Amino acid sequence: MYEQILVPTDGSETAEMAIEHALDIAEKYGATVHALYVVDTDSMSLSLGVEQVDRIRQGHYGEMGEVRERAEAATNVVAERGRERGLEVVEHVSAGRPHALIEDYAADNDIDLIVMGSHGRSGISRALLGSVTERTLRSTTVPVLVVDARADDRD
């Protein structure tokens, strides 16, 4: 049933909770885990010019190297924890609109399950569900497991 599991991460604490669920399910099913970080170019285009955003979309970070490093640090967490459990982990960093690229990645890589947090870096104060999760739920046809940020203090 679950052979390819996608865990989109923005490096937040809630995403890290989702990672644990993804790894546990992957272990049970012998699935490959895909860790995806999307550099959000919409939020960057406010401070950067169109040309620089275009270059980043093509993978040329230039002076924005620390953006790429932050992205890789987030996917590395998945890779390290996964490999500790003997799982196969594929890391991927891309740039664009997060929910659109999550949906595209799922479609292009035969993803059977997406595991993500209810919230991300903005946190739970503002909305019931983060916008990336809400948009992903609306657009993808792949099953999505949403790990609730508020569950943190429960178990």
Residues in contact with ligand ATP by the rule CB under 6 A? 8-10, 12, 14-15, 18, 36-38, 40, 98, 116-117, 119-123, 130-133
In sequence order, what DSSP letters do the residues of the chain get, joined into one string?
A: --SEEEEE--S-HHHHHHHHHHHHHHHHHT-EEEEEEEEEHHHHTTTS-HHHHHHHHTT--GGGHHHHHHHHHHHHHHHHHHHHTT--EEEEEEEE-HHHHHHHHHHHTT--EEEEES--TT-TTS-SS-HHHHHHHHH--S-EEEEPGGGGGT-
Closest chain position to ligand ATP (CB):
130
Q: Does 8 bind Mn ion (CB under 5 A)?
A: no
- Judged by beta carbon distances under 5 to 8 A according to partner kind, the member of Mn ion, ligand ATP, none in contact with residue 82 is none
- Residue nearer to ligand ATP on the CB measure, 86 or 126: 126
- Residue nearer to Mn ion on the CB measure, 39 or 87: 39
CB of 124 to ligand ATP, least distance (A): 7
Q: Does 120 bind Mn ion (CB under 5 A)?
A: yes
